[in-house]
């Protein structure tokens, strides 16, 4: 399995290196893997690539954590208070349907070319899958389990910590997986709309300069940031949801 996986990767790199030339595709459409690697090394030296990558990664990390915390808090608040959900649900639905990336220009008007608009778009886009999953988990909890805890004289706080919070963990992690893939999009859109820092800025710059290899490098780095975040979620999930039967766990 691992061997097949490694072979496929080598085959993919080889195809990327030689296929475009074989089919007569010019380098400004698909640069070869060698060209992209050279561009990567050039950007490391001349374009402060590490700095821009770190800025984007930092915004993704902060936006993700804040969005997740906000989503968890709102999910529980609405889940435990049916009247609050009833009153707020039209607004939540509207905000959920609204394309979150459209808020990027607005946030730039509000906060200027700083890191804040990017983090805000990220929070907004991460928030929904988390909130919806936590809300659903609270609603789906068997009321008899809560009755059992109450019959054991559990207080409201005990019911939350011993029953409701742990019961919400599997859906929460399903939401975290989705949110991890969305977090990078949120920050990237913010960076594309305005500013002169982050991988989104380098991406826009590479496009303007017709430097396809530069665009490739930034896409790959953005993907790597997403993979690291997703990997962290999977790692934590493995520790928290260790009790689930193997068939209920996702392989990746």
What minimum distance in Å lies between the beta carbon of 170 and another protein?
A: 9
Residue 139, interface with another protein (CB under 8 A)? Answer: no
Choosing from 11, 34, 112, 166, the residue that interacts with another protein (CB under 8 A) is: 166
What minimum distance in Å lies between the beta carbon of 143 and another protein?
A: 11
d(CA 195, CA 210) in angstroms, rounded, equals 19
Residue 148, interface with another protein (CB under 8 A)? Answer: yes
Choosing from 149, 174, 232, 234, the residue that interacts with another protein (CB under 8 A) is: 149
Query: Directed axis angle between helix 82-97 and helix 49-80, to 10°?
Result: 140
Half-sphere exposure (Cβ direction) of 72: Cα atoms closer than 13 Å:
18
Residue 163, interface with another protein (CB under 8 A)? Answer: yes
- How many residues bind another protein (CB under 8 A)? The answer is 20
Give me 237's structure tokens: 């999930």
Choosing from 81, 89, 114, 158, the residue that interacts with another protein (CB under 8 A) is: 158
Name 215's Cβ contacts closer than 8 Å, sequence gap at least 6: 203, 206, 207
Residue 34, interface with another protein (CB under 8 A)? Answer: no
Residue 21, interface with another protein (CB under 8 A)? Answer: no
Choosing from 28, 51, 110, 152, the residue that interacts with another protein (CB under 8 A) is: 152
Instruction: Please check whether residue 184 is in contact with residue 226, taking contact to mean a CB–CB distance below 8 angstroms.
Output: yes
Residue 114: φ, ψ to 5°: -110, -175
Which residues, numbered 57-116, are part of the site for another protein (CB under 8 A)? none
Choosing from 66, 88, 101, 244, the residue that interacts with another protein (CB under 8 A) is: 244
Residue 154, interface with another protein (CB under 8 A)? Answer: yes
Residue carrying the six token digits 């820092």:
197
Per CB under 8 A, the segment of 85-93, 149-157, 184-192, 201-209 that binds another protein is 149-157
Please, what sign has the CA dihedral across residues 65, 155, 240, 96?
negative
Per CB under 8 A, the segment of 14-22, 72-80, 163-171, 178-186 that binds another protein is 163-171
Alpha helices in the chain (DSSP H): 2-22, 33-46, 49-80, 82-97, 103-111, 116-140, 143-151, 156-159, 165-167, 169-193, 199-208, 212-240
Q: 148-156: long-range contacts (C-beta < 8 A, 24 or more apart)?
A: none
Binding-site ranges for another protein (CB under 8 A): 142, 144-145, 147-154, 158, 162-163, 166-167, 169, 243-245
């Amino acid at each position: 399995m691992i061997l097949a996986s490694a072979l496929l990767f080598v085959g993919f790199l080889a195809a990327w290196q030689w296929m475009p030339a074989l089919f007569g595709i010019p380098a400004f459409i698909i640069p070869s893997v060698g060209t992209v690697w050279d561009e990567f090394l050039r950007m490391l030296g001349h374009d402060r690539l590490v700095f821009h990558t770190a800025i984007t990664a930092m915004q993704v990390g902060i936006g993700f954590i804040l969005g997740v915390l906000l989503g968890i808090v709102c999910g529980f608040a609405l889940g435990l208070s049916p009247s609050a959900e009833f009153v707020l649900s039209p607004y939540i639905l509207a905000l959920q349907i609204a394309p979150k990336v459209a808020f990027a220009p607005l946030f730039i008007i509000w906060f200027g070319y700083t890191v804040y608009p990017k983090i805000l778009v990220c929070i907004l886009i991460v928030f929904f899958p988390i909130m919806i999953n936590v809300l659903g988990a609270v609603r789906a909890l068997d009321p008899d389990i809560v009755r059992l805890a109450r019959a054991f004289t559990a207080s409201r706080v005990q019911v939350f910590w011993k029953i409701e919070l742990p019961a919400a963990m599997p859906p929460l992690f399903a939401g975290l997986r989705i949110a991890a893939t969305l977090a990078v999009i949120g920050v990237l859109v913010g960076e594309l709309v305005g500013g002169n820092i982050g991988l989104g800025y380098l991406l826009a710059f590479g496009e303007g300069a017709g430097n396809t290899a530069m665009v490739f490098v930034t896409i790959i780095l953005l993907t790597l940031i997403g993979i690291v975040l997703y990997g962290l979620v999977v790692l934590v999930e493995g520790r928290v949801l260790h009790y689930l039967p193997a068939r209920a766990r996702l392989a990746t």
